[in-house]
Chains A and B, each alone.
Chain A
Amino acid sequence: MPISLQINGETYEVNVPIKKTLLDVLRDDLALTGTKKGCDSGECGACTVLMDGKPVNSCIILAVDAVGKQISTIEGIGGIMELHPIQEALVAHGAIQCGYCTPGIVMSAKALLDSNPHPTESEVREGITGNLCRCTGYVKVVEAIMDVSRR
């Protein structure tokens, strides 16, 4: 089915099977591979994107269901030459090991700080409960997000 998606402010025309998820269309059809596929069942948060400003799991959304929504992915947040302050803080705090969960964490942190610029630590922890890190944990991630919120 031919559809039109709004991603990072750009319009993309794609032809997708009904059963294809937004995540698979981002990665396979649009080469926006910054959004990761982890569990593929709405558990791990690696595939987090923003839909109309709110974090959602792109692996449990049909691409056809995303028509008419504003989608933001990690590619729209920052690049290697111009990191977003959240990305800079994650780097500065060493809040990364393998990095696979990081794009999703950045998206969740961005949604949190956009709606609540000065969250408490427990609000930060709550904000990233949908993002699983299997390398190390969340202490440095929380510190990094708290650091951004103080700037």
Chain B
Amino acid sequence: MVDILNIENEINFLGGEVLLDINYWEPESLMDAVSILANRGDQVRALAGGTDLLVKMKKGPINWKGIVNLKGLTELKGFIFEGNTITIGALTQISALIENPLLNLHFPVLIDAARSLGTPQVRNLATIGGNLCNASPAADVALVLLMYEARLLIAGANRSRKVPVREFYVGPGQTVLQQGEILTAIEIDLPPLNSKGMFYKLGKRKSHEIALVNVAVLLTTNPGTMQIAKARIAVGSVASTQLRIKDAEDSLIDSVATLSAFIQAAELAKTAVNPIDDVRSTASYRKHMVGVLTKRALVEAWGGEL
């Protein structure tokens, strides 16, 4: 373990500004990282891409005592395709998702969400694991992982565990991760054949936007029929955590794809959400747009003609 610095509470005076420096570690193994995070209390932060962490650090006031830079854990980066499952290392950059041809082929909705995240500069830094652990209700990539029913591999000091994305969040910015636990990888199964998905992000700009509402859907049809075997509908920015809308999904199972079936599912989605007013939008507009975007996404996922 490289314990690079231990100068708690050393004060530097720079241009009249008091800059309180902090501890810093660059562990070279996962277990070293876990043990630092487990032993140093909740005031030590893990650094992945840093696109959220650095902004929080600057906004202050912060009581962090140190930063654990995970960059040395190269095993948490990259892709493994095995059978029907792809495993993505938690430190894999968003831009690397976009550049991966197999992901483009099998998970186009994930790619759409990745392309909509931030800017090219941010996508070159931000990681898939960070997008999940930051637990923003507006996160784009994380929303699609909820829709694809991804499983999260979590390493801790005494045990490893696997948690479905839908059980990962506790509230805005809060996850089930315990002190000393690190998200290491994301597992996604290939969607069933005859599946097609869609991702919609509502914002005031075309890019560089935090979603006012985002929606990800996947429709699986019974081959050779107009019948829906399974529907998945995930919405973000409209509750304290991202949601799967079970009532709307169930309403479509075994039903024939018609515009009215999709409108009904969209209405159910609208009823299920509980958005707030904030600086980016209002609760009533968000609720309305959940209906609009869910319907639009379902129609598009079906193929656009009904």
Contacts and interface: CB of A to CB of B under 8 A. Distances in A.
A23 B17 CA distance: 17
A45 B123 CA distance: 13
B306 interface: no
Interface string B109-125: 00000000011111011
Interface stretch (B18-26, B211-219, B234-242): B18-26
B58 A108 contact: no
A103 interface: no
Contacts of B47: 62, 65
B12 interface: yes
B208 A130 contact: yes
Contacts of B50: 60-62, 65
Contacts of A65: 47, 50, 69, 71
Nearest to B72: A68
A18 B22 contact: yes
A19 B122 contact: no
A51 B47 CA distance: 17
B125 A60 contact: yes
B77 to A, nearest CB: 13
A43 interface: yes
A45 B22 CA distance: 27
B69 A64 contact: yes
Contacts of B54: 21, 42, 59-62
B58 A40 contact: yes
A48 interface: yes
Interface in A131-148: none
Interface string A34-69: 000000111101001001001111011110110000
B67 interface: yes
Interface in B9-35: 12, 19, 21-24
A42 B24 contact: no
Given A1-B24, A42-B55, A54 B5 contact: no
Contacts, number: 82
B208 A127 contact: no
Contacts of A127: 120
A18 B55 contact: no
A108 B122 CA distance: 12
Nearest to A18: B24
B207 interface: yes
A64 B121 contact: no
A17 interface: yes
Contacts of B19: 17, 19-20
Interface in B25-52: 47, 50-51
Nearest to A115: B99
B170 interface: no
B95 interface: yes
Contacts of B121: 42, 45, 48, 55-57, 108, 130
B208 A43 contact: yes
Contacts of B279: none
A35 to B, nearest CB: 13
A18 B19 CA distance: 10
A108 B120 contact: yes
A129 interface: yes
A62 B125 CA distance: 12
B191 to A, nearest CB: 27
Among B4, B19, B50, B120, the one with the most A-chain Cβ atoms within 10 Å of its Cβ is B120
A20 B54 CA distance: 10
A54 B125 CA distance: 9
Given A17-B12, A41-B58, A54 B69 contact: no
Contacts of A82: none
Given A42-B51, A57-B122, A57-B125, A64 B24 contact: yes
8 contacts: A1-B24, A18-B67, A40-B58, A42-B54, A59-B54, A64-B69, A126-B207, A129-B206
Given A1-B24, A60-B51, A129-B207, 9 more contacts: A21-B54, A43-B208, A45-B119, A56-B124, A60-B54, A60-B125, A61-B54, A62-B69, A111-B120
